Amino acid sequence: MNLILPKNIFTDILGSTLKNSYQKDYTLKPSALLSKDLTDKDIALIPALDIIQHKELFVSSKRGISFEGTLSNSYIYFSKTENVLKNIILSGDVSAVEAILTKIVFSELYEQEVSISLTNNSKENINQNMLLIGDANFESNNFLSGIPLTDEVNELTNLPFVNFIFASKNKELLKQFEEETADIEKQVYASIENSTWDCPYSDEVKTLFQENYTNLIYEFDSSDVSAMDELLRLTFYHGIIKEIFEIKYT
């Protein structure tokens, strides 16, 4: 079993727990590359909406990363100089999740049809409307001036924000992984609460996690599955996919 994860603060905590409590090693890849070239021996924590382009993959109904409330892997930063909201710049560990949900969120909640562009250097575009993805939000406490994308998706769907899903070409391997990682969420919560997790950022970031870790979900239930299905329906309603399909859950 080869585990492949994206690189961010949430998978750092997860990876530490996998190594310490379940003796499982893993490799890291950028989010946009996680769904590519998977073999029958691989399990990857892929961006949730990658499933649109990879319908053949089996998806865990019990493991992934979703959010409720304050914690988020992506934050929106509004320009202080632009009066009209026309363009959103995406920066960081960008995937299909952010590219698709940005347009949907701004259409549904802000009644704005925005165009999207990408940048590799968020600092050069600091005065423009931006969605920043990944750990750059927690460097220099940037998150303090941003709006969590989690909040917007929670408001839109009244469900958790499913950001990443465990997927594989091998259904039995995925079910084995689910069985072997029982109580993983409990282990993660304990590491945050008891400060055994080595937070690489400021005290403000550490406090953010310690006060809100129960909003970070690694063990899925029916509400997370419903949330994933709702994301697919939204992509259909907005014309991103031509028909709704059945996800191949474990």
Q: What is the pLDDT of residue 197?
A: 84
- Cβ of 56: how many Cβ atoms within 10 Å? 10
pLDDT over 90 percentage in the chain: 82
Report the mean per-residue pLDDT for the chain: 93
> Which one, of 31, 159, 170, 24, lies nearest residue 93 by Cα?
31
Tens of pLDDT, residues 1-45: 899 999 999 999 999 999 999 999 999 999 999 998 899 999 999
Tens of pLDDT, residues 171-180: 999 999 999 9
Q: What is the pLDDT of residue 101?
A: 95
Tokens, residue 129: 């409307």
- Confidence tier at 156 by pLDDT (50, 70, 90): very high
Q: What is the pLDDT of residue 194?
A: 87
Q: Residue 231 pLDDT > 70, yes or no?
A: yes
Q: Distance between CA atoms of 125 and 141, rounded to whole angstroms?
A: 17
- Pairing outcome for strands 74-77 and 58-67: unpaired
The alpha carbon dihedral of 9, 45, 60, 105 has a sign of: positive
- On whether the CB atoms of residues 140 and 154 are closer than 8 A, the answer is no
For residue 59, list its beta bridge partners: 167, 249
DSSP 99-119: HHHHHHHHHHHS----EEEEE
What count of residues does the chain have?
250
DSSP 167-200: EES-HHHHHHHHHHTTTHHHHHHHHHHTT-S---
- The residue-averaged pLDDT of 156-164 equals 96
- Cβ of 171: how many Cβ atoms within 10 Å? 15
Q: Residue 104 pLDDT > 70, yes or no?
A: yes
Q: What is the pLDDT of residue 166?
A: 98
Tokens, residue 221: 């239930």
pTM: 0.95
Contacts of 150 (CB under 8 A, 6+ apart): 67, 68, 69, 70, 71, 72, 74, 161, 215
For residue 40, list its beta bridge partners: none
- Confidence tier at 126 by pLDDT (50, 70, 90): low
DSSP letter at 134 equals S
Q: What is the pLDDT of residue 125?
A: 60
- Confidence tier at 151 by pLDDT (50, 70, 90): very high
- The residue-averaged pLDDT of 131-154 equals 94
- Confidence tier at 122 by pLDDT (50, 70, 90): low
Q: Distance between CA atoms of 20 and 196, rounded to whole angstroms?
A: 11
Tens of pLDDT, residues 75-98: 999 987 766 778 899 999 999 999
Separation of first and last alpha carbons in the chain: 17
Q: Distance between CA atoms of 111 and 116, rounded to whole angstroms?
A: 15
Q: Which CATH number fits domain 2-67+160-249: 2.40.160.60, 3.40.50.720, 3.90.1150.10, 3.40.190.10?
A: 3.40.190.10
Residue 224 parent element (H or E): helix 222-237
Q: What is the pLDDT of residue 119?
A: 84
Q: Distance between CA atoms of 205 and 128, rounded to whole angstroms?
A: 24
